[in-house]
Structures are given as C-alpha cells and as structure tokens.
Amino acid sequence: MASEEQKLLVSMIEQFAKTELENATQKIEKERISKDLRKKLAELGLFSATLPQSEGGSGIDKKSFSLILMTLAKYSASVAYFTYLQNTLVNELLYKLSNKKEVIAKIGSGELTGTLVHDLNLNFQHEIFIKGLELYGTSNFVTLPDADVHLVMARSEGSSYLVITKPTSTALRKPLGFRGISFGTSIYKEKIENEQIISKEAENILQNHFLETGDQIAAIALGISEAAIEKAIEYSKERKAFESYLYEFQPISAVLSDMKGRIEDMKKALTLAESIQDKMFLKLNSLEIARLASRVALQIYGGYGYLEDLGVERYYRDSMHLTMLASNYIKEIKILSKEIISPEAFKI
Amino acid sequence: MSFELPNEIEETRKRAREFALKEFTSELIDHYDETEEYPNEIRKKVFDAGFITIENPWNMLVAMEEFCRVDPGIGLSALASVFGSEILLLYGTEEQKEKYLYPTLKGEKISAVAVTEPGAGSDVAGITSKLEKIEGGWILNGHKMFITNGTVADHYYLLARSAPPPSKEKRHHGLTLAIVERKWKGVNPVKLKGKLGMRATDTAEITFENVNVPNENIVGEEGKGFYIIMTFFNISRVYVAAQSVGTAQGILDLVFEYLSNKPASFREMEYVQFALAEMNTLVEVARNITYKAAAKVFSFNPDPALTSMAKYYAAEVANQVANMAFKIVGMEASGTKLEKLYRDAKITEIWEGTSEIEKLVIARMILKKIQEAK
C-alpha cells in the first residue's frame, strides 16, 4: 500500500497533470513536448527524481517515482515515458557510471535532453560498433534521436561499451505511439575521446538496470490502462443503445468491471514488487493489461473511439508502442523460465 | 464435397494479388495513410481491371481478401465504391437501377450506405433521421455519422424513420430506405479526419436539412427499410470478414518475411514455431468460416448466424494475429507495415456491426432454434 507521503506526492503530481496535461494532451501529441512543459517537469524535480539530494537530485524513492509515472501516464503516456527516459535511462546511468555532474544537472533542469540507444530489446544486435576510438553505425529505433546527449551502447569484439556522444545525423519518423516524443534513426560516425566511454560492460549494466526498473514500465502501462478503462466506464454511463445505457448491458459491465479489478490488483502488486522476478512479471502482465484495456475501451467507444479527437485510440497505440520499446517477450520469458524452472529451461 | 474454390475464382485471386502488389506501392500506401485522401485513381484502375462485378460475388470476395492483404485502406476503398449496390439489385425498380446501379457498376458513379447516426450505431432501429411525406415526395431531415464514401459518393442508400414505431417491441417498423443524391440541396457531408487506421477510406458526417426526396427514390416497400438493411448486412458482413482474413494474412506475410530474413536459429525456436502455427491456424479457420458464410449468402440461402460468426471471428483473428506478430517481431516492427495493419485491423471489430452485435445475432438465432425444437 502507498504510504501517506507517497499519497501526498501523487496528489501533487495529479494536480499538476490536471492543470498542465489534461487539456493539452492532443497538443502534446501533435507538437511534441514543448520546452515550456519540459521546464515545468524539471522544476518538479522529475528528471533527477531518484538521484540523491546531496547530488542535486530530488531524493524520491523508487516506489514513489513509479507512482508518479503512473499518475503522469493517466494523462499523457508520452510525458510519463519522457520523464522515465530522462530520469531513469539517462540521469541514473550517468550518475552510476560517470562523474558528468554538469550534464546530469543540465538534464535535471531540463536545459538539455538525453536519450539511451541500445539493442537489448531487439531480437538481434543493432549495428553500432566501436573500434579503437572510432564509433560508427546506425540505430533505427531511437526514442528522442534529436536529444542533446546520447548514451550509446556500442559493441566491440565480445564486449560492449556505453559512450556519451551526439549523433552525426538523425532522421525522424512518425511512431505508432508516444507521439509527444520524437522517434527515428540515429547515425554515428566519429572519433571519440577516452573520457566519453563511461562503461566497458554496457550490456550487463543495462540489462540489470532494465530488470531493476521494470516496475517503472509497469507503472506507465497501468496509467494507460486505468485512463482507458475509466474513460470507457464514463462513456458507458453517457451512451445509450437500444434505449439503455451501455453499462446496463451485462457483457459490457462485466468486461469493464473485470478490467478495473485486474488493474487494481496490478496497482497493488506495483507497490509490493521488490525482487527482479516480481518486477519482470509485473511488467509483462501490466503491458498485457494495457493492450487489452485499450482495446476494450476502443471497442466500447465504437466508431468514435477510432477518431483521434476523443483520445481513446491513443491508448491503443501507446500500449503497443510501450510494449515494443520496453519489452522483448521472448527474451524475458526465457530469463524467467531459467530462473523459475531450471537453467536448462527454454533451450529448444 | 470439395473445399476448393473453382479455378475461375482462383484465377481472379491470383490476378488480384498481382494487381495489388503492382499498384499498391509502399509510396502510395504511405501517401494515402498520411494525407487521408480517397484513392480515386486506384479505384478507376480496379474498375478497368474488372475486379468489381457483383454478378459473380466470389470474384469481389477474393479480390477483397487479396487487396486487404496488401493494404486494407486502399483495397477496401476501391472495392467499396459500389457499396450498397446489392440493395438495388434485390429491391430496386428498373428505373432506379438504370439511374443509379448500372452507372455505379460501370465505375461512373460511387455509392454509399447511410444508416449509422451520432446517437444510433449498433441500434439501427434507434435512428432518428426523418422522412416526412409531402405532396409528390418526401422531406428528409437528419444526421448520419461514420458514412464510408460519404464525401465522394454520388448517392446514398439512406435509412430514415417515415412513421412512428407501432410499439416499443416494434421499433424496427416504420423505417424507409431512400436513395439520396449527395449534390442535392440540403445535403452537407463533412469528411472525418484523424482515424486510427483505414485512413485511405473516406468517412463522413452528413447532415440533411429539408432535402426533397422524390417518390421514385424510395427503395422497396415504405416502412420496411429495416428488413432491407438487415438483408444487406448479411451480404456486406461477409465482405468485412474477407477484409479481416486479408488483413490477417497480410500480417502473416510480414512475419514470414521477417523470419526469412533472420538467422535460421530464430525460427528454429519452438516458441516462435508454436506462435507461427497458432497464427496460421487462426487465419485458416477464419478463411474457412468466411467462405462457408459466403457460399450460403451467394447461393441465396443466407444463414445470418453463420454470417455473424464469420464477421465476428475473422475480426477477432485479425486483431489477435496482429498482437501475436508484435510479440515475435518486437521493436523491429516499428516503421514497418505491421504497425499500419495493427491500426487498420481494429475497425473490423467495429464497423458493419460491432462484435457485440454479431454475438447477439448468433445467440438469438441459436435460442430461436432451441425454442423451435421444443
């Protein structure tokens, strides 16, 4: 269960989201997260939320940060993921692996933006390499390719490096979801300095970091789910068919209640998940619920849900995009199988 | 008993596949998806190639499947340019056929069916558009929603209330079907933009304000429009089932392509193989039930429960297969046609009768049989 302190924090974020996001969601999706909004999120300390206060962070505990992400995602999954990207994937890694205090501070203040480029959620390795001090290659799946700071995982003869750099060129394309954040391709071709290499064990470090923060992805997925189902319940109380409200029909109220119950269960699990295994299951199940809840919500809205204006189809796109960005089912179920059943599991 | 389609139909399928692969280029697919324009040039080519022929509906059915396999938005737009023609074929007068049906079947006109309203989608009997009788004809007032071909059609087959329902149980009585031309005074179609998928299809909201409808434009018997529309849905839902099968097959094609371009070790994983087996089975079953329902409809022996099963099941399969495909391909689906097919697939559970309505039809037909058996 969430503590009083956590509840207070969530209530503050909820207030912020109602003021700054609720009526701006469509604008964010069309024009992307503005500098102004970025500044406001930074002023709340969200881009260095989990860093210690002694290092200029907000000192928010990880559980509370998950609840913050869930709250933001109810209003804008783009904003929630952007916050996760800045705090967890960039600033936390920079803090753990480097002494780049100035960069951390600038990302924390929203002055600079950062992104992480890796291939751990792909079925196959991407083609970014490091040879000597030469970094080269391309990734076609970069969230925020126009970020100021890129943490790039590059491979080199059996090892993997994490390099802080900027791309030589970028190309943007319209993503399936999270349209409030740019997405596309980054090309790297440069001679780097030794100090730009912040880790020579990137794969292990990133893998562990993703496993440890899987509950944050679950939180975003649950925020999407909750928003979708709440919206559908609201609509079922407004829309009539056959002279009755939609919620009065048994199959509709059953599916909505069932979804709501499953989301509430997962929210409880979110506050309890401590082990890596718990967090992995939580992430996989929350992503599945998000895809299902958004499909149910769209179905309840019918034709209206298929139109961008009502904001329901966004949940449908965002839930699948989040799944693609943050999960690789085959790899993850393999890890879980080996841990739960036997190291010999999942090999054929 | 044979499960094979006649050679002539298989030949059409082959031609449709080749046509779609040649004409629905990636550039055009992206263009129509981005701009939401109606693909009129492709519609003309589809006509010229002879795919639109309701004399042998199997040809249109397999063309629908093959076109949607390559791109559901363009494919459906081109083939649905004769949308509703079966209504006139079955219920129209010779004059109505001369004026509206034959030019449509020659590709000179585009038709649309206008039933759904802002407040009445699944509940067809709940529509409120009104036809009021005046001397020499009718006055139409009303509001229609989500009308496919709404801003490009020359005429609509429109359902409106012409008499109050005799009782609560008989709300479907007193509805009349009329042919209304888009360019008539008082007809105002507005294109709806920003759809999740199927963005090459034209979708409109249309208001009708004091529109004069001549007597000769009433289709079938006055007050019996509900039955005409339900008969039509029995036909059109089979085509939507084919759209779903085509979309699902298109998704499978992309998964095959992905797997064939990756190291063999990936497709040798049994997890991947099982997923592949499940997806193929789902599509094959959806195709079979679609053909069975079509065989009944096209031989004038429709089975509404079977048609609804086909429409509901094939739509479910299209969406399920899309989800499963993402599980295999993952992030690499980004920027590919798989994303588009995922967006396109969702509509099949909504239009031409939601999955919930199909289930109601199926259940009612089964319960009727139980009742009759007693």
Indicate the residue among B79, B97, B127 that finishes a domain.
Answer: B79
Q: Are residues B362 and B253 in the same domain?
A: yes
Q: Are residues B360 and B237 in the same domain?
A: yes
Selecting from A175, A243, A327 the residue whose C-beta is nearest the C-beta of B334 gives A175
Interchain CB distance below 8 Å, B145 and A303: yes
Selecting from B121, B328, B346 the residue whose C-beta is nearest the C-beta of A316 gives B346
Q: Are residues B214 and B152 in the same domain?
A: yes
Give the whole-angstrom CA distance, residue B208 versus residue B266. Answer: 57
DSSP state of B24: S
Give the whole-angstrom CA distance, residue B234 versus residue B305. Answer: 9
Minimal Cα–Cα distance from B134 to chain A, Å?
A: 30
Maximum CA extent, chain B: 77
Q: Are residues B198 and B240 in the same domain?
A: no
Q: Are residues B364 and B236 in the same domain?
A: yes
For residue B198, give the chain A residue with the closest CA.
A306
Interchain CB distance below 8 Å, B334 and A320: no
Task: Report ipTM for this prediction.
Answer: 0.95
CATH code (residue B353): 1.20.140.10
The domain tally of chain B equals 3
Indicate the residue among B200, B223, B246 that finishes a domain.
Answer: B223
pTM to 2 decimal places? 0.96
Q: Is B22 exposed, middle or buried (0-12, 13-18, 19+ CB in 10 A)?
A: exposed
HSE toward the beta carbon, residue A142, CA cutoff 13 A: 31
Q: Are residues B201 and B126 in the same domain?
A: yes
Q: Are residues B298 and B246 in the same domain?
A: yes
Give catalytic status of residue B352 as yes or no: yes
- Residue B328 contacts A where some CB pair is shorter than 8 Å: yes
Q: Are residues B263 and B332 in the same domain?
A: yes
Minimal Cα–Cα distance from B312 to chain A, Å?
A: 13
**Domain, as residue range, for B199:** 111-223
CATH code (residue B205): 2.40.110.10
- Residue B324 contacts A where some CB pair is shorter than 8 Å: no
Length of chain B as a residue count = 374
- Looking at the domain assignment, is residue B54 inside a domain? yes
Q: Please list, in sequence order, all residues whose beta carbon lies within 8 angstroms of the beta carbon of residue B61, skipping any fewer than 6 positions away.
A: B238, B239, B242, B290, B294
Which conformational region is residue B300 in: left (phi greater than 0), alpha (psi within -120 to 50 degrees), or beta?
Answer: left
For residue A295, give the chain B residue with the closest CA.
B346
Domains and CATH numbers, chain A: 4-108 (1.10.540.10), 114-200 (2.40.110.10), 213-340 (1.20.140.10)
- Looking at the domain assignment, is residue B277 inside a domain? yes
For residue A332, give the chain B residue with the closest CA.
B327
Tens-digit pLDDT string for chain B (374 aa): 888 999 999 999 999 999 999 999 999 999 999 999 999 999 999 999 999 987 889 999 999 999 999 999 999 999 999 999 999 999 999 999 999 999 999 999 999 999 999 998 888 999 999 999 999 899 999 999 999 999 999 999 999 999 999 998 899 999 999 999 999 999 999 999 999 999 999 999 999 999 999 999 999 999 999 999 999 999 999 999 999 999 999 999 999 999 999 999 999 999 999 999 999 999 999 999 999 999 999 999 999 999 999 999 999 999 999 999 999 999 999 999 999 999 999 999 999 999 999 999 999 999 998 999 88
Task: For A294-339, write each residue's pLDDT tens digit.
Answer: 999 999 999 999 999 999 999 999 999 999 999 999 999 999 999 9
CATH code (residue B48): 1.10.540.10
Q: Are residues B211 and B139 in the same domain?
A: yes
- Looking at the domain assignment, is residue B103 inside a domain? no
Q: Are residues B71 and B139 in the same domain?
A: no
Q: Are residues B205 and B286 in the same domain?
A: no
DSSP state of A199: E
For chain B, give percent helix, strand, coil, nearest 5: 60, 15, 25
Chain B neighbors of A298, CB-CB under 8 A: 196, 346, 350
